[in-house]
């Protein structure tokens, strides 16, 4: 863990049990229900470290307590497209039932809750090995592959609105930020449903679309003994194998 020796893990409510090494290049941080502000500060600290060691990859796998975040703006339509997205009125943020953060990723208002799996790749992009488009496609495809193994089919990420979709229902959102060719922020996949968050979404149109559009893995298949932790471990195995 020498790469992270410059960071005081305690400052971010982390310890050695949250950190795993995968090969020579990849460090995995895994923490459930992690305070959003601390996780964001940790991402920014990792960006600083990658300036000196650009070949290292830090993959954060986590969830957060209920929180709203707002990015730089909604998805822009391509030529000839009409998206009919509803912009969030930031003056209404003070009326939200959960904390609100204005952040630097792409996209509009989105939500997090403990039943999500969030992947934040802190990775230096390379047009030959890992471009931004490949990163986004890979993250969606890793999720599709695991859910196919769990007998959930019909998923795709090729609709005009960015995300992972099951028909007209959305189960994962993507919002990336890039500084000095290094990515942060990432993908949030709804694994378990969250009724408290669902009530709050009715007033905010996350990602500019109706709250009823969103669903979760739990609502699409019978999980039986399958857990979020198992899904995350499978996802990280696929990611670290593919991003050697």
CA distances from 65 to 11, 38, 52 (A): 18, 12, 32
Q: How far is CA 173 from the centre of its chain?
A: 7
Query: Which is the catalytic residue, given 46, 61, 62, 207?
Result: 207
The CA distance from 181 to 54, in Å, is 10
**Could you tell me whether strands 164-166 and 169-179 are parallel, antiparallel, or unpaired per DSSP bridges?**
antiparallel
Both tokens of 217, joined, read 């893995």
Both tokens of 232, joined, read 């995350």
Spatial contact of 85 and 39, defined as CB atoms under 8 Å apart: no
In sequence order, the 6+-apart residues with CB closer than 8 A to the CB of 161 are 75, 83, 170, 207, 209
Active-site residue flag, 62:
no
Catalytic residue IDs: 207
């Amino acid at each position: 863990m020498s790469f992270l020796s410059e960071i005081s893990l305690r400052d971010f409510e982390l310890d050695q049990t949250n950190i795993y090494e995968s090969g020579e290049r990849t460090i995995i941080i895994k923490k459930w229900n992690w305070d959003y502000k601390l996780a964001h500060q940790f991402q920014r600290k990792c960006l600083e470290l990658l300036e000196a060691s650009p070949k290292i990859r830090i993959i954060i796998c986590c969830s957060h307590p209920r929180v709203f975040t707002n990015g730089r703006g909604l998805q822009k339509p391509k030529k000839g497209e009409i998206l009919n997205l509803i912009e969030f009125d930031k003056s209404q943020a003070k009326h939200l039932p959960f904390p609100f953060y204005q952040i630097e990723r792409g996209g509009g208002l989105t939500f997090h809750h403990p039943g999500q799996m969030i992947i934040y790749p802190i990775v230096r992009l390379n047009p030959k090995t890992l471009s931004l488009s490949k990163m986004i496609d890979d993250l969606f495809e890793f999720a599709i592959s695991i859910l196919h193994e769990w007998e959930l089919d019909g998923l795709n990420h090729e609709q005009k609105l960015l995300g992972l979709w099951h028909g007209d229902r959305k189960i994962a959102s993507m919002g990336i930020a890039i500084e000095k060719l290094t990515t942060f922020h990432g993908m949030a996949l709804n694994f378990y449903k969250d009724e408290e968050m669902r009530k709050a979404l009715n007033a905010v149109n996350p990602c500019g679309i109706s709250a009823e559009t969103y669903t979760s893995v739990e609502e699409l298949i019978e999980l039986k003994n399958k857990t979020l932790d198992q899904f995350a471990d499978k996802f990280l195995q696929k990611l670290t194998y593919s991003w050697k």
